[in-house]
């Protein structure tokens, strides 16, 4: 179906169902329980899951398939955001023109940056992309102030033209009247589920681009990109000009990033240069590697994982820790809190760094590899009763993935 094999169609349907049901299953704890703070089913966070999912999906087309590590993808994220806010300023709060412009502009940027950076490979390619992204960041801060509003950040002002703005039109981002920050709250017993327009808008776009990226992974193009990863030279001697393949992969992944940046501004109508900073580029690298670069689901899980724990860990402060460890004797309690507190709240990046080291050293394939290991152990434990199960285990390990 849809140009996919039966297995992939099933995969796609599973992803669609999970994405659409996210507001429900990310809300596992009732409002009244003390665990409610671990719920993630609120619009702002779910939107970020979908948006960073798109960002990392595009990054994965470049890094996961070809192995070329770009350290400058945040530049495209920023270009996307600026494009959308500019369309708000010039036309009106409809997100569609901005998103189209975001994808086109980031594509043009990626074409230029990719053309120059892809003259080198390996570490030099990474450094070139990093240099371009930092240049874009600094330009956005200084020279391009008329376009980017510099340090203040770009936002919509009352005296902006907004030529398409009509009487009574929404004054926040919307899609033909569907206002992004509107939500329906449904209470079921003690549980409260929030169904947010913005989340579903980003989720549907995420599903569409997930489908596109699945098609790319399963195409001859995707196979050639994977071949570039291991032996680019051999492909040249086999008659394939690898340069345009690399450039296409770079531009596609830049457009994904631009779309993600555009969606960030579609949820919240302002942006600033810090969106282009190298930390944002580094974050997407972490997401991809933590989840498992080169697999379809891994990087998306990595994005969800980082965004979720960033949110949860930042919420934990000393008073929460005192609540948790209140049952301990006083001296021990202070000691435990003293040890734990640098890793939570503002110190969340410390935890992330440790976690990243553990993953890279022990699970170079990321979360996906970890999950496959667990599944494999489980199968082996139950797998002595027949050869059939072993067969399915070996088919899961096929290189086609």
Partner 1 sequence: MSTTEKNIVLHVDDVHKTFGGLHALADIDLQIEEGKTHAIIGPNGAGKSTLLNVVVGRLSPTRGAVVFNGEVLTGKAPHQINQLGIARVFQTPEIFPDLSVLQNVMAPAFAKRDGSFKLNFLSSLERQTDIRDEAEHILHDVGLYERRNTHAGALSRGDKRRMELAMCLIQHPRLLLLDEPTAGMSRHDTNTTIALLQKIKERGMTKIIIEHDMHVVFSLADRISVLAGGRIIAEGEPEEVRSNPKVQEAYLGGAHL
Binding site for partner 1 (CB under 8 A): 3-5, 215-216, 218-224, 226-227, 229-231, 233-242, 244-245, 248, 252, 398-400
Q: How far is the CB of 245 from partner 1 (least distance, A)?
A: 7
Distance, in Å, from the CA atom of 393 to the CA atom of 101, rounded to the nearest integer, reads 46
166 vs 394, beta carbon nearer partner 1:
394
Are 262 and 81 in contact by the 8 Å Cβ rule? The answer is yes
Distance, in Å, from the CA atom of 352 to the CA atom of 28, rounded to the nearest integer, reads 24
64 vs 98, beta carbon nearer partner 1:
64
Please provide the DSSP assignment of 300-353 as one string.
Answer: HHHHHHHHHHHHHHHH--HHHHHHHTTTS-HHHHHHHHHHHGGGSGGGHHHHHH
Q: How far is the CB of 370 from partner 1 (least distance, A)?
A: 20
56 vs 216, beta carbon nearer partner 1:
216
142 vs 395, beta carbon nearer partner 1:
395
235 vs 393, beta carbon nearer partner 1:
235
Encoding tokens for residue 300?
Answer: 């998306």
24 vs 212, beta carbon nearer partner 1:
212
Are 180 and 198 in contact by the 8 Å Cβ rule? The answer is yes
Cα–Cα distances (Å) from 138 to 83, 101, 149, 213, 246, in that order, read: 18, 22, 12, 32, 27
Are 132 and 117 in contact by the 8 Å Cβ rule? The answer is yes
Are 71 and 58 in contact by the 8 Å Cβ rule? The answer is no
Q: How far is the CB of 64 from partner 1 (least distance, A)?
A: 12
Are 60 and 53 in contact by the 8 Å Cβ rule? The answer is no
Q: How far is the CB of 394 from partner 1 (least distance, A)?
A: 10
Are 95 and 239 in contact by the 8 Å Cβ rule? The answer is no
22 vs 242, beta carbon nearer partner 1:
242
Distance, in Å, from the CA atom of 215 to the CA atom of 301, rounded to the nearest integer, reads 19
Distance, in Å, from the CA atom of 181 to the CA atom of 200, rounded to the nearest integer, reads 11
Partnered with residue 195 across adjacent β-strands are 184
Q: How far is the CB of 168 from partner 1 (least distance, A)?
A: 42
Q: How far is the CB of 80 from partner 1 (least distance, A)?
A: 21
Q: How far is the CB of 251 from partner 1 (least distance, A)?
A: 11
15 vs 214, beta carbon nearer partner 1:
214
């Amino acid at each position: 179906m849809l140009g996919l094999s039966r297995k992939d169609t099933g995969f796609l349907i599973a992803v669609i169902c999970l994405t659409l049901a996210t507001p429900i299953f990310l809300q596992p704890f009732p409002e009244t329980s003390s665990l409610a703070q671990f719920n993630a089913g609120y619009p702002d966070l779910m939107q970020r899951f979908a948006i960073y999912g798109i960002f990392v999906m595009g990054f994965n087309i470049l890094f996961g398939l070809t192995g070329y590590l770009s350290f400058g993808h945040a530049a495209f994220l920023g270009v996307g955001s600026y494009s959308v806010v500019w369309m708000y300023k010039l036309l009106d709060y409809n997100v569609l023109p901005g998103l189209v412009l975001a994808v086109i502009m980031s594509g043009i940027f990626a074409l230029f940056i990719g053309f120059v950076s892809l003259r080198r490979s390996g570490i030099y390619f990474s450094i070139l992309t990093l240099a371009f992204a930092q240049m874009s960041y600094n330009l956005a801060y200084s020279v391009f102030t008329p376009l980017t509003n510099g340090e203040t950040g770009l936002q919509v002002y009352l005296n902006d033209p907004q030529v398409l703005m009509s009487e009574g039109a929404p004054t926040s981002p919307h899609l033909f009247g569907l206002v992004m920050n509107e939500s329906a709250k449904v209470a079921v017993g003690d549980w409260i589920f929030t169904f947010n327009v913005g989340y579903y808008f980003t989720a549907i776009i995420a599903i569409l681009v997930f489908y596109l990226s699945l098609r790319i992974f399963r195409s001859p193009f995707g196979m050639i990109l994977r071949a570039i990863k291991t032996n680019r030279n051999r492909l040249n001697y086999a008659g394939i000009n690898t340069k345009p393949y690399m450039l296409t992969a770079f531009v596609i992944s830049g457009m994904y990033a631009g779309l993600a940046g555009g969606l960030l501004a579609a949820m919240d109508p302002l942006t600033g240069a810090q969106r282009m900073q190298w930390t944002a580029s580094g974050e997407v690298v972490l997401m991809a590697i933590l989840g498992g670069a080169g697999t379809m689901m891994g990087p998306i899980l990595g994005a969800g994982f980082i965004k979720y724990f960033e949110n949860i860990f930042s919420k934990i402060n000393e008073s929460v820790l005192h609540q948790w460890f209140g049952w301990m004797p006083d001296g021990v309690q202070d000691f435990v809190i003293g040890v734990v507190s640098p890793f939570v709240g503002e110190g969340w990046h410390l935890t992330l760094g440790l976690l990243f080291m553990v993953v890279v050293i022990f699970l170079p394939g990321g979360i996906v590899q970890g999950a496959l290991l667990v599944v494999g152990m489980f199968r082996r434990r139950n797998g002595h009763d027949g050869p059939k199960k072993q067969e399915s285990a070996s088919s899961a390990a096929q290189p086609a993935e």
